[in-house]
Amino acid sequence: MSDKQSHTFEKPFVTEGGATIPDPTIAYQTWGDLNTERNNVILVCHALTGNTSADTWFEGLFGPNKALNPKEHFIICPNVLGSCYGSSGPTSINPKTEEPYRADFPNVTIRDIVRLQQQLLDELDISGIELVIGGSMGGMQALEWSVTDDRPQSAVLVGMGEKHRPWAIGISHTQRQAIYNDPNWNNGFYSEENPPKKGLALARMIAMNSYRHPSDFDKKFGRRLQDGQSQYEVESYLNYQGKKLIDRFDAVSYVRLTQAMDSHDIRRGRPRIQETLAALTIPIIVVGIDSDMLYPSKECKHLANLLPNGRYKEISSPHGHDAFLIEFGQLNSIVKSLQTELSEQSV
C-alpha cells in the first residue's frame, strides 16, 4: 500500500528568479516504513508530466527482489513544483486573486524544484538517502540532489546529461510555440472551460517524436493505414498520445516545466563547480540509452566522466528515450548491482 499526502509550508518559497510563492505546497507519495535512524530512504524523482505514483510508471522496479522494495526501504516520490498534481503550480489558487495562477505562476528551475523537496525531507526528519533515482527531468533533479545535499549516498541518473543542450532546448521551444499559438491560449490566462487543448496536444505529439527512435516507428507502424481510415497508423498513434495528455495535464504547467528543464546546467552560476564535483565522491551511475535521440548516450558518458565516482551503464533498446520507462529488466539489474555493491561495503 502507498500513502498519498501533501504538506503546506508556512514560510513563503522564493524562487531563483526572486519570485515569492506564499504557502507553498508539495504533494508526495510514500511506500514502506522509515527505520529508527530514518535513513533507509530511496528518493524517486519523476519526469516532465509524471506524478507521485512511481509504483505505476516505475512499476517494473517495485516489489520483492526489485530495486524499489517497500519491505526494505522507505520510498518517497514528490510531485515537482510547477506541476498540476498537487504541488504548487499554475493550477493552484493565487491568494492575491483567489483564481488559479495560470501564467502568473513564476518560472521555476530544477534547483527550485529540488530545494522544495529538500524542505519536505527536512520536515519529515529524514537523515539519509540510500539512493536517489530519476530519468530525464527526474535525473536532472537527482543530480542536483547529489550536488547540493549531503544525505544521498548513491544516485542513478537516467537519460540526461550535465546540461540541457541546444537540441533539447529547441525541441522544448517548439512544443511551447505549439501551445502559445492555440487560439485559447490567451497569454496563459485561459478559462477552465476552454483551455488550449489543441496546442497542448500538438506539443505532446512533437515530444513523442523525440522520445522514440525512427527504427522503433518503422517496426511499430511501418506505412500501414489505420483500419477503415485514410490516415497512417503513426498519425493515429500521435493523435491518441496528444488527446491522452490533454485529459490529464495543464498547459501552463507544461510550459513552466519545459522551461525548468531548459534551466538545467550543473555549472550554471557555480564558479567553483570543479571543487564541488571533486567533493562529490558518492557512487553515481549515469545510464544512457543507445537509441536515445533526445539525450544521446555520449552526453551521459560525458556526465559520468565528470563525476569522481561516476560510472556509465547503457540500456540497449529500440525504444529511444522512452526506454527508461520500458526496459525495466535492464534498469533493475543496473540499480540492483549498485545496491549490492553498497551493501557489501557496509558489512
CA gyration radius, the chain: 20
- Nearest-10 Cα torsion for 100, 200, 262, 320: 140
* Residues with Cβ within 8 Å of residue 4, at least 6 apart in sequence: 27, 28, 29, 52
Three-state SS for 108? coil
- For this structure, is 321 an active site residue? yes
Of the candidates 213, 264, 321, 322, the residue annotated as catalytic is 321
Which residue among 87, 88, 92, 136 is the active-site one? Answer: 136
| Number of neighbouring beta carbons within 10 Å of residue 193 | 6
Is-catalytic flag, 319?
Answer: no
Q: Which of the following is catalytic: 182, 262, 292, 322?
A: 292
Dihedral (C-alpha) 80, 82, 84, 87: value to the nearest 10 degrees?
A: 60
Distances (CA, A) of 253 to 74, 176, 210: 29, 11, 20
Query: What is the rounded CA–CA span in Å between residue 137 and residue 158?
Result: 9
DSSP state of 31: E
Backbone torsion region of residue 58, taken as left when φ is above 0, otherwise alpha when ψ lies between -120 and 50, otherwise beta: alpha
11 exposure class (CB count in 10 Å sphere: 0-12, 13-18, 19+):
exposed
Three-state SS at 41: strand
Dihedral sign from CA coordinates of 199, 200, 203, 205: negative
C-alpha cell at 298: 555520449
Question: Is 122 part of the annotated catalytic residue set?
Answer: no
In the block, residue with C-alpha cell 488559479: 100
Catalytic positions: 136, 292, 321
